[in-house]
Structure 1
Amino acid sequence: MTETLQYAGVIRQVVVHFDDLDPSAVVHNSRYALLLERAVSNWFSDHGYSFANGRPSSEDMVVGVREFAITYNVPIRGTGPIDVHFWIDKLGRSSAVYGFRFLSPDHTTVYAEGRRVMVKMDFATGVPVPWTEDGLALVEPLVRR
């Protein structure tokens, strides 16, 4: 880990619930994508971007996951809070490559880490379209330098 990575992006707390666990009482592998989405959505919501009333509040909210890759280092056991650290490694014309880590609350354990590629799309056609200037300005603090 580099100093840049350590301080890039933001950290959001999410809560692991009983239904996130597999029969061994560890977080099921499929739930990591959902936990990441909760952390990222929470950050966007705090900045005025949401899906209130079933509609995106900004055209920059209409995105699809193109790629999701994760490496599991240590199981997350049981329920309770964990921290999700995420940042943007690359911001393209209509895409964003996010990096992420799942951390213990004291940040001494990296449970899992990976990347997620998002593509902004036109709401009606599903065709990739450029980010708006407002959207680019919003995520600028997340971009790793």
Structure 2
Amino acid sequence: MSVAPLQAAHPVPYGQLVPVTVHFDDLDALGMLHNSRYPLLVERAWAEYWHGQGFGFDGDWAAAGDMCNVIKEMRVSYERPVTSPGHYAAHLWVERLGRTGLTYGFRLCSADGAETYAQGHRVLVRVDAQTLRPTPWSDRARAIAAELLRPADSDGGTGTEADAA
């Protein structure tokens, strides 16, 4: 079972769009999506994506396998505010796939993928549940992540590839 990609009016050239919902209570006192919600929405989209690929966590770290990972680094650039509740998307892709680490890129965007509200990346390290030391990703996780690899000649999904040339 996998997460069905959105039918985007502005299709993404790689990665996947996963639907996310902004609720009224996600907005701050100024009526904008609170800055902490952007990475939360992306985290939920990634969790849904991996769950759709058959990966999950039920509270047992020893059995969690590839889901036993930690964040080494995170960067978010806020491009424009989300100012209303509704349906949006997280554009997800893999920037780098190492032996024990994985860097993924993301955009929080309009549901059709055309408008970018925030973008960034996060570095994950798979760890052994007992030692908490880095350990290699499984072949299955590597194969799924490889399907989301961003081509080297792209701009990270911002739609400015031609402008950057």
TM-score by length of 1: 0.89
2:16 corresponds to: 10
Other structure's SS at 2:81 match:
coil
* Paired residues, number: 139
1:90 corresponds to: 96
Q: How does 1:22-101 map to 2 (within 5 A)?
A: 22-52=28-58, 54-55=59-60, 58-101=64-107
For structure 2, the 5+ residue unaligned runs are 1-11, 152-165
Q: How does 1:66-145 map to 2 (within 5 A)?
A: 66-145=72-151
Deviation at 1:139, TM superposition (A): 1.5
After the TM superposition, which of the residue ranges 124-133 and 84-93 deviates more from structure 2?
A: 124-133
After the TM superposition, which of the residue ranges 70-79 and 17-26 deviates more from structure 2?
A: 17-26
Q: Distance in 1 between matches of 2:119 and 2:53?
A: 25
RMSD: 1.4
Per-residue CA distance 1:96-137 (angstroms, 9 max, x = gap) = 111111111233311011111111111122111111111111
For structure 1, the 5+ residue unaligned runs are 1-5
**Closer, same or farther in 2 for the Cα pair 1:7/1:58, shift >3 Å?**
farther
- Alignment check: 8 A CA contact 2:17 2:113 kept: no
AA matched with 1:141: E
Q: Distance in 1 between matches of 2:83 and 2:146?
A: 34
Identity %: 38
TM-score by length of 2: 0.79
Structure 1 runs, 4 residues or longer, greater than 3 Å off: none
- Alignment check: 8 A CA contact 2:81 2:117 kept: yes
Deviation at 1:58, TM superposition (A): 4.1
